[in-house]
Structure 1
Amino acid sequence: MSHSPNQPILLTSSLHVDHARKAIAALVDDLIQESRAINDPADIETVALDKAIDRILAVDLLSPIDVPAADNSAMDGFAFDGQCLDTNSAVVSLSIVGTAYAGRPYEGSIGPGECLKIMTGAVMPAGCDTVIPQEFTTAINELTIQFRQDQLKAGENRRLRGEDLQKGKPAIEAGRLLRPSDFGLAASLGIASLPVKRKLKVAILSSGDELRPLDQILDPGSIYDSNRYSLTGLLNRLNLEIIDCGIVRDDPTSLKQAFIDAASRADVLISSGGVSVGEADFTKQIMQELGDVGFWKIAMRPGRPMAFGVLKPIAGKSPARKTLFFGLPGNPVAVMVTFYQFVRSALLQLNGANQTEPPLVQAIAEAPIRKKPGRTEFQRAILRRSSDGKPSVRLTGSQGAGILRSMSEANCFVILGHEQGNIAAGDWVDIALFDGLL
C-alpha cells in the first residue's frame, strides 16, 4: 500500500521502506505528467558529447547508418566462398590472390578455390562469405594455404551489414543516463551532440540554531554545518544544478520565507533538520500552508524521520511547476542514507531516467552483525576480496547516525532487509557500492 503526502502519516507510526519508496515514485510520476502538460521546449537542450556525462538522453538516438556499413571480417585470416567446404576431402586447399585491409577494400572478386588474406574489420570482397582464422591454417607456400574442413562452417567469422545497428533504429534509448561508452557509440555514428533533459535545479538548505558556516569560530554548543557539503557532493554525482540556500534559523518566519524563496527558483528542495518529533510541529504547519507534505517515521536505521511532498507553485515562477520537497533528518549519516534510499531515485525519475535504482551485489559477512527484525538497516562497511577470491565485507565500526567517519571509511552499504534478524559470520548479505553513488 502506498501513501500520499496529502494524507500525512503520523510520526508515531513507522512506514516500511518499500512503501515509502512506492509513494514517492507515484507522486513523482504525477509531477512528470503535469510537467508534460506544460510542454516547455526549454526542458530539452542539445550539448556536445564531451559535455553530456551523467546527463539523461531526452529522445531516442536513431542510427543514421548501418553498423557495420558492410559485411566485414571478424578476425585476421583468409576470406573465401563457403561452398568450398562442400567437399569430400578432409582438407581444403586455397590459393591466395590478394590482401584486404581495414579501410582499404579489395576491389576484385574471388573465384572457386581462391581466398583473400583479410584483416579484422576489412570489408568482405565479392564472392566471400566465410573467414578461416589465420592460426587454423597451414602455409603450403607463399600463395597456398590448407586447413581442416571440420574447423569451421560456411558463413563463420563474418560480421553482417547492420548486425550491430540498423539505419533508423534506436542506438541509445531515451532516458539513458549517459556514460562514456555511450559517447563512443554516438561518435562511431558520426554524431557530435546529443539532446538531453534540462538539468534539474535542486535547492538545498540546513536548518538549526546550532549550525555555523565553516568560516566562523564555534561557540559553546554549536557545530559546523556538514550536511550541505554532503548533499552538494551527492548532487554533483548526478550532474544537477545546485542552489545553495545556506543555513536557516529554527523559527517559523525564517523557515517559511526560505522555503518560498527556494521553491521560486528550484524544481526540488532538500532540507536537513527540523523533522524529528517536537521539531516538526511548526514545520508541519508551514508545510500545510505551502503545499501537500507528509511527515513520516520510516522503519529504517539510520534515518527514521523524514518529510516528503510538494510545494505549491510560487508566484513569479516560470513555468508554474510544483516543487518536489524532501525534509531529511539532521544527523549527518542519516542525511546520506535517506538521500541514497529515496532522493537519488526520485531525482533520476523526475529528470526522465529509465534506470533509477542502484544495483545490488552480494558479499560474505566477515563477522556477525546484530539486527532487529522490523526495520531496514543500512550499515556502513568495507567490501574487499578475501584470500579465496570471494567478496567479503566488514563493518566500519560504530554505526551511529552522527558518526561521519563511518561513511568516510566505508565503500559500501550492507543492506539488511525489514524482516531480517542477526547475521552470522559467513552469511551472504546484500551490498550497495558507493562508487558512482556517494
Structure 2
Amino acid sequence: MEGPPASARPVAEPFARSVEQHAGAVREAILAAVGSGSEDLDVADAVGRALAVDLIAPIDLPGFDNSQMDGFAVRSVDVRAAPVTLPVHTTIAAGDGRPTRLPEGSVTRIMTGAPLPEGADAIVPVEDTTPAGPDAVTIGTAAGPGSFIRRRGEDIRLDEVVLGAGGHLNPARIGAIAALGLTTIPVRRRPRVAVIATGDELAPRGGPLPFGHVYDSNAPMLAAALRTDGAEVTLVDRSDDRPDRFLHLLTAAAAAADLIVTSGGVSMGDFEVVRDVLEPRGGRFGKVAMQPGGPQGLSIVDDTPVISLPGNPVSSLVSYAVFIAPVLRELAGRPATPRTTAAAGRDISSIAGRRQFLRGRVADGVVEPVGGPGSHLLATMASANVLIDIPADVVAVAKGDKVRVWAI
C-alpha cells in the first residue's frame, strides 16, 4: 500500500533546532513519561539499578568496637614499658557475644573482628608477641591508645545518608547495604522502551535477502543500546511503509512501554510512514543542525512519547547517543559517557552551520577519523571508539588541534 505523496500531508510547522534544543525537548519528554516510579528489590538483585530514595543507615557500622588484627587486647598503660610479660585472661573469637572485661595487668587473646573487651584500649598484633608459657605472653612493643581498633560507627553512623537518591548500585554499594542488614531496597523502575524500525526495504535476519533490500540492523542495534543504558526493552519489531501496519505496531507499543523509539520514515520523501502517521496526530518533525542525524521527530501517542530517529544506521545510532542515552544513563544512576579532548590525527573539514559527529578512534591521545562520511557505513561505526564532536561554527580542524570526543 503506497503512502500518500508529500503534498497530501497536513501543513505542519517543521522545527529547525540546534542539538541542544532538541536534546532538551527529548529529555523533557522522557522524564515526564518515566516519572518517579520505583520498585522494591532484593538487595542481591539490585546491582546496576539506581536508588529511588536517600538510603539512611539503620545501625552503626561497625556496630561495636572490634579488633583489626589477630593478637592481644591490652591496656596501653600496661605495655608502655614493653617488652613485658603478662598473663592471658581469656580468648575472644569473632562472633563471640559474651560481655567481657579486661582486668588490669593482663591481656586477652583476640581474633580479627572480635568485640573489644571493656577496659582494653589497644591491640598488639600477634607477630609482635612471644608465647611465655600456657597462660602468659610477652608483649614485644608498646601500643598507644586506639592501636588496631575499629571503632563503632567508624564506617557508617546510625541515621547517616549512606547513598543519595539516584545513586548507581555497584557491587561495593550492594555490599555496604547488605552489611546494614537490609533485605530489600527501593530502586527506580527501569524505563520500558519499545523499538520499531520502519521501511519496505527491511528484510528479516536469517532469511533470504531479496534484491534491493537490506537486513534490519536498526532494531537490534537500538535495543542493545537501550539495554546497555539501563532500559527494559519490551518490544522490538519492524514495519513496512504501510500506515495501517505501522499504526498497529505503534498502538501495541504504546500499551507496553513508557517510551517508543522508531527509526526511519522521518524525512521529506513520499514514503515517510512515521511522519505520515504521526504528523497529523500532532507529531513534530524537522531538522536538527547536525550531521549525521539531521531529520528528527518527537510525538506523543496515547500519552507515550515517540522519539523518531533517521533510518540510516549510523544516523540512527549517533542520534541515540546524542539525544537518548544521556537521559537513560542519568535515570539509571550511571556516569555520563566520558567526553574529553584529543589531538586531531589529520586535517578535518566540516560543514558550516551543522554540528558534526564523526566516527573516530583514539589512541595515545590522538584521534583519527575512521570510514567515510556516509551514514550507511555501519561496519566502520563498529570499528570506532569515539565520536568526534565538531561545533557548528567550525569548518576546518588542523592536524594537532584539540577536538572534543565522546566515548562510544
| TM-score of the alignment, normalized to the shorter chain, above 0.5 | yes
Answer whether contact 1:345 1:356 (CA < 8 A) is retained.
no
The aligned residue for residue 51 of structure 2 is 57
Q: What residue number does 2:397 align with? A: 422
**Percent of matched pairs sharing the same residue:** 30
**Contact 1:76–1:118 (Cα < 8 Å) also in 2:** yes
Q: Which amino acid aligns with 1:27?
A: A
Find the residue that maps to 2:397 and give its secondary structure.
coil
Which runs of 5 or more structure 2 residues have no equivalent in the other structure? 1-11
* Count of matched residue pairs: 390
Find out whether 1:164 has 2:142 as its counterpart: no
| 1:233 is aligned to 2:233 | no
1:10 aligns with 2:2: no
Q: Is the 8 A contact 1:358 1:432 kept in 2?
A: no
- 1:156-215 per-residue CA deviation (whole Å, 9 max, x = no partner) reads 543322232234444444333433333323332333433334443321111112111114
* Structure 1 residues 52-91: aligned runs within 5 Å: 52-75=46-69, 79-81=73-75
Paired with 1:264 and 1:231, the residues of 2 have a C-alpha distance of: 20
Match runs of 1:89-100 below 5 Å: 93=83, 95=85, 97=88, 100=92
Q: CA deviation at 1:419?
A: 5.6
Report how far residue 395 of structure 1 moved.
4.2
Change (3 A) 1:397 1:239: same
Aligned residue number for residue 119 of structure 2: 127
Alpha-carbon spacing, 1:359–1:253, altered in 2? closer, same or farther (3 Å): closer
295, 300, 303: which one aligns with 1:310: 300
TM superposition shift of 1:335: 1.6
The question of 1:358 aligning with 2:336 is answered yes
Q: Which amino acid aligns with 1:19?
A: Q
C-alpha displacement of 1:226: 0.6
TM-score by length of 1: 0.73
> Following the alignment from structure 2 to structure 1, what is the Cα–Cα distance between the partners of residues 70 and 403?
45
Q: Partner of 1:370 in structure 2?
A: 348
1: CA distance, partners of 2:68 / 2:383: 46
> Which TM-score applies when normalising by structure 2?
0.77
Q: 3-state SS of the aligned residue for 2:223?
A: helix
Residue pair 1:105, 1:125 contacting (<8 A) in 2 also:
no
2:382 corresponds, among 396, 408, 427, to: 408
Take 1:419 and 1:93, find their aligned partners in 2: how far apart are those partners?
A: 76
Structure 1 contact 58–197 (Cα < 8 Å) conserved: yes
SS of the residue 1:343 aligns to: helix
Matches within 5 A, 1:21-36: 21-31=23-33
**Once the 2 structures are TM-superposed, how far is the Cα of residue 70 of structure 1 from its aligned partner?**
0.9
Q: Which deviates more from structure 2 when the two are superposed, residues 109-118 or residues 397-406?
A: 109-118
Secondary structure of residue in 1 paired with 2:21: helix
SS of corresponding position for 1:287: helix
Give the corresponding residue for 1:200. 191
2: CA distance between counterparts of 1:303 and 1:81? 72
Contact 2:293 2:310 in 1 (8 A): yes
What is the SS of the residue equivalent to 1:57?
coil
Which residue does 1:47 correspond to in 2? Answer: 41
Q: CA deviation at 1:245?
A: 5.3
2:317 maps to 1:336: yes
Is structure 2 residue 95 aligned with structure 1 residue 103? yes
Q: Deviations over 1:354-379 (max 9, x none)?
A: x3662425464472362537544444
Is 1:346 matched with 2:327?
yes
**Alpha-carbon distance between aligned partners in 2 of 1:396 and 1:129, rounded to the nearest angstrom:** 64
Displacement of 1:134:
6.7
Query: CA offsets per residue over residues 370-396 of structure 1, 9 Å max, x none?
Result: 253754444434455x5xxxx665444
Please point out which of 133, 147, 167 is paired with 1:176: 167
Structure 1: stretches of 5+ with no match in the other structure:
1-7, 37-42, 314-321
SS for the counterpart of 1:221 is coil
Once the two structures are overlaid, the 10-residue window that deviates more, 300-309 or 279-288, is: 279-288
**Whole-Å Cα distance in 2 between the matches of residues 84 and 375 of structure 1?**
78
Q: Give CA-to-partner distance per residue, 1:322-343, whole Å, 9 cap, x none.
A: 1021101111122222212211
Q: Counterpart of 1:271 in 2: which secondary structure? A: strand
Q: RMSD of the alignment, in Å? A: 3.8
* Cα distance change on mapping 1:423 and 1:181 into 2, 3 Å: farther
Amino acid at match of 2:14: L
CA distance in 2, matches of 1:419, 1:26: 26
In structure 2, what is the Cα distance between the partners aligned to 1:73 and 1:415? 54
SS at match of 2:348: coil
2:372 is aligned to 398
Is the radius of gyration larger for structure 1 or structure 2? 2
Q: For the Cα contact (< 8 Å) 2:223–2:236, is it kept in 1?
A: no
Kept after mapping to 2: 8 A contact 1:364/1:428: yes
Map 1:249-264 → 2, pairs under 5 A: 249-264=240-255
